[in-house]
Amino acid sequence: MSQTALSQTATMPNNKPLIFPCEGDALVGVLHPSSGIVAARTGVLIVSGGVQVRSGPHRSHVELAQALAADGLPTLRFDRRGVGDSSGTDVGFEMSGPDIQAAIDALVEETGVEGCIGYGLCDGASALALLAPHEPRLTGLILMNPWTIDQEDQENSLVMHHYRRRMRDPRQLGRLLRGEIELGRAIRSLGRVALDRLRARPRPAILPLSHRMAASLSGFTGPIHFILSTHDRTAATFQAATHWPAWKAILERPNVTIQEIGGADHTCSPQTAKAAFLAECRSAARRMAALERELA
């Protein structure tokens, strides 16, 4: 762990820097112990997305961890292999199951909790979804803007999302009616996407990511809370996937809920969106922790 990181962590009250092993590498995390008097039975593990470090975008994961700890839920945020202060090679979110399990090991060992709620953003949410049925210590999931886009479909999804947003914008419709938008160019662009989707291309034997996530969550019986930003293409792509039968079956379960945050982008950068995100996560985590106490 760098001297700068250690210095920054030391200035935060009650935080404890951790270094723990994962398949021969060293992962670095920060534990926010519970401020409750009674020992907590449930903790929270924060899983960042992409190459975001443990502090999260706009330090939102620091604020979230502090808030959850104040609610009596010890919380660990960490860097997976090859990201931030952790050693090793970044193997990508689909292969980060061992990193998440190593972090759960550390959380359990340090705090004595019996299980934990997993919070993830973007492909961090996807990683938790893929791991959940295989990790019994995960008792609930809070998944924000889950990543469901396969690499080969990413460009097409960008184009489709771009035009969906423009068609919902009254100003853009006005420009179209006034002839200010080159309609032929837009039609050609959408046509290329449609032809690409219809063309018989060789596909890998592995199922699309969204199908694999649905299959995985079908085997997870704990509560799941999805948080979706209204101004985010990743969230929009996920919502499109939820119309498939496998996802519909999951969303119809009584312990699975969805909440949208209006005006929020992918990382909830506006202050109002960030405040709504923090409140939504705290509320969901408290509900899940209370449910665990009732079942115990």
In a domain, 237, yes or no: yes
CATH code assigned at 64 = 3.40.50.1820
In a domain, 62, yes or no: yes
Confidence at 250, pLDDT banded by 50, 70, 90: very high
- The DSSP bridge partners found for residue 141 are 118, 224
Residues of the domain holding 166: 152-198
What is the residue whose two structure tokens read 């938008």? Answer: 181
pLDDT at 207: 87
* Gap between the Cα atoms of 161 and 189, Å rounded: 12
Write the pLDDT tens digit of every residue in 19-73.
Answer: 999 999 999 999 999 987 567 899 999 999 999 999 999 999 999 999 999 999 9
Of 293 and 85, the structure prediction assigns the larger pLDDT to 85
| Residue where one domain finishes, among candidates 198, 230, 262 | 198
Write the pLDDT tens digit of every residue in 202-218.
Answer: 444 578 999 999 999 99
Q: Which pTM value belongs to this model?
A: 0.80
Q: Is 47 in the same domain as 94?
A: yes
Q: Is 29 in the same domain as 162?
A: no
Confidence at 76, pLDDT banded by 50, 70, 90: very high
CA distances for 58 relative to 10, 61, 242, 286, angstroms: 19, 8, 29, 23
pLDDT at 200: 40
Amino acid of residue 93: F
Q: Is 39 in the same domain as 167?
A: no
Amino acid of residue 33: P
Confidence at 221, pLDDT banded by 50, 70, 90: very high
SS3 content of the chain, % helix, strand, coil (to 5): 50, 15, 35
pLDDT at 9: 43
pLDDT of 251 > 80? The answer is: yes
Q: Is 173 in the same domain as 266?
A: no
Q: Is 96 in the same domain as 144?
A: yes
Specify the DSSP class assigned to residue 242: T
| Mean pLDDT score of the chain | 85
Write the pLDDT tens digit of every residue in 154-211.
Answer: 444 444 544 455 556 666 656 656 666 665 555 555 455 444 544 444 444 578 999 9
> What would the mean pLDDT of 100-125 be, rounded to a whole number?
97
* Gap between the Cα atoms of 261 and 271, Å rounded: 12
In a domain, 51, yes or no: yes
pLDDT at 35: 82
In a domain, 204, yes or no: no
- The total number of structural domains in the chain stands at 2
pLDDT at 5: 45
Q: Is 12 in the same domain as 89?
A: yes
Q: Is 238 in the same domain as 286?
A: yes
* Gap between the Cα atoms of 17 and 5, Å rounded: 9
- H helices of 169-265, in order, are 170-177, 183-198, 209-218, 233-241, 245-251
